């Protein structure tokens, strides 16, 4: 009887592991298929999660105020007529595509010229193993006024740390960028931003940011690694 019970327990555990593995493989395959297609895409929080809100098209009132409060970082003029809020995942391939293909154009044409204020928030997806720690590491770098340097480094090296031991590499990046290593390590090891990143994730779900990257342009939603022309049309309509 005991032997039979033990066998059933093992089978149940194996079945659970197979389900988890299948979900992870399915998620990665979806990302790879969309990347190869060349079309804009986004990585979803989790298919079939009935706790997620309906897709929204525009935020207003308290929700809009909430996504502007205490972000991971921001840049651009406070007098800008347009505010671009970005919910991003450092390990998401679509977020990297946005960084590689579109972000620099937005910086040059709109942020540097004072037309747009850029606000960044974290949305690390559960099936990206190193994404949450990466978000925490960027915030730790921000404590030393180096958030954006670390942000760029994470996207530039995504294919390296995405499949490796993230913590060691993140600490190495901090050193290469000239951060105070002791302060950075203490911040990361102590989990200073664990709850803060979790709060951003909860906020994303609350306002309908169901995948990465998700943008709100003066409250109007734009999802996925969209081309610069799409951002330009929406931003120019607000100016």
- pLDDT (tens digit per residue) in 58-85: 888 899 999 999 999 999 999 999 999 9
Distance CA 67, CA 207 (A): 8
pLDDT value for 56:
56
Task: Point out which residues pair with 211 in neighbouring strands.
Answer: 44
Residues 131 and 175 in one domain: yes
pLDDT score for 148: 98
61 and 11 in a single domain? The answer is no
Q: Are 101 and 188 found together in one domain?
A: yes
Q: Are residues 8 and 82 in the same domain?
A: no
- Check: CB of residue 97 under 8 Å from CB of residue 174: no
Q: What is the pLDDT of residue 21?
A: 39
**What does DSSP say about strands 82-88 and 116-122: parallel, antiparallel, or unpaired?**
parallel
3-state secondary structure (DSSP) of residue 236? helix
Torsion sign, CA atoms 233, 234, 238, 239:
negative
At 3 the pLDDT is: 55
Q: Which residue(s) pair with 117 in the sheet? A: 83
Confidence (pLDDT) at 15: 41
DSSP 53: P
Tell me the CA end-to-end span of the chain in Å, nearest whole number: 74
Residues 6 and 100 occupy one common structural domain: no
Instruction: Quote the number of domains for the chain.
Output: 2
Strands 214-217 and 116-122: what pairing? unpaired
Do residues 188 and 167 make contact, with C-beta atoms less than 8 angstroms apart? yes
Give residue 152's domain range: 42-238
Supply the CATH number for residue 144's domain: 3.40.30.10
Residues 100 and 18 placed together within one structural domain of the fold: no
The reply to whether 117 and 197 lie within a common domain is: yes
Task: For 140, list phi and psi in degrees, rounded to 5.
Answer: -65, -40
CA torsion sign, 104 to 132 to 139 to 183? negative
How far is 167 from 54, CA to CA, in rounded Å?
Answer: 35
User: What's the confidence (pLDDT) of residue 40?
Assistant: 56
The count of other CB atoms within 10 Å of the CB of residue 9 is: 10
226 vs 55: CA distance, rounded Å:
17
> Do 113 and 200 reside in the same domain of the chain?
yes
22, 59: one domain: no
Q: Are residues 68 and 2 in the same domain?
A: no
Please tell me whether residues 12 and 74 are part of one structural domain.
no
Residues 220 and 151 in one domain: yes
pLDDT digits (tens), the chain, 239 positions = 545 444 544 444 444 433 333 333 333 433 443 444 344 565 554 433 333 334 558 888 899 999 999 999 999 999 999 999 999 999 999 999 999 999 999 999 999 999 999 999 999 999 999 999 999 999 999 999 999 999 999 999 999 998 778 899 999 999 999 999 999 999 999 999 999 999 999 999 999 998 999 999 999 999 999 999 999 999 999 99
pTM of the model: 0.78
* 3-state secondary structure at position 44: strand
């Amino acid at each position: 009887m005991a032997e039979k019970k033990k066998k059933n327990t093992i089978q149940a555990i194996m079945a659970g592991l197979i389900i988890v593995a299948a979900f992870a493989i399915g998620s990665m395959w979806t990302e790879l298929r969309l990347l190869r297609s060349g079309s804009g895409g986004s990585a979803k929080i989790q298919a079939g999660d009935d706790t997620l809100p309906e897709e929204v098209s525009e935020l207003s009132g308290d929700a809009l105020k909430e996504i502007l409060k205490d972000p991971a970082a921001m840049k651009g003029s406070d007098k800008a007529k347009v505010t671009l809020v970005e919910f991003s995942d450092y390990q998401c391939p679509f977020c990297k595509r946005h960084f590689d293909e579109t972000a620099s154009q937005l910086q040059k044409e709109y942020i540097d010229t004072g037309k747009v204020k850029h606000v960044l928030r974290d949305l690390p997806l559960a099936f990206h193993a190193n994404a949450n720690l990466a978000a925490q590491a960027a915030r730790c770098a921000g404590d030393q006024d180096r958030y954006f340097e670390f942000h760029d480094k994470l996207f530039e090296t995504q294919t390296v740390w995405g499949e490796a031991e993230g913590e060691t590499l993140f600490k190495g990046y901090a050193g290469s960028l000239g951060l105070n290593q002791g302060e950075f390590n203490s911040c990361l090891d102590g989990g200073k931003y664990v709850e803060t990143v979790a709060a951003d994730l909860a906020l994303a779900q609350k306002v309908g940011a169901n995948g990465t990257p998700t943008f709100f342009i003066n409250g109007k939603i734009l999802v996925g690694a969209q081309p610069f022309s799409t951002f330009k049309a929406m931003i120019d309509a607000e100016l």
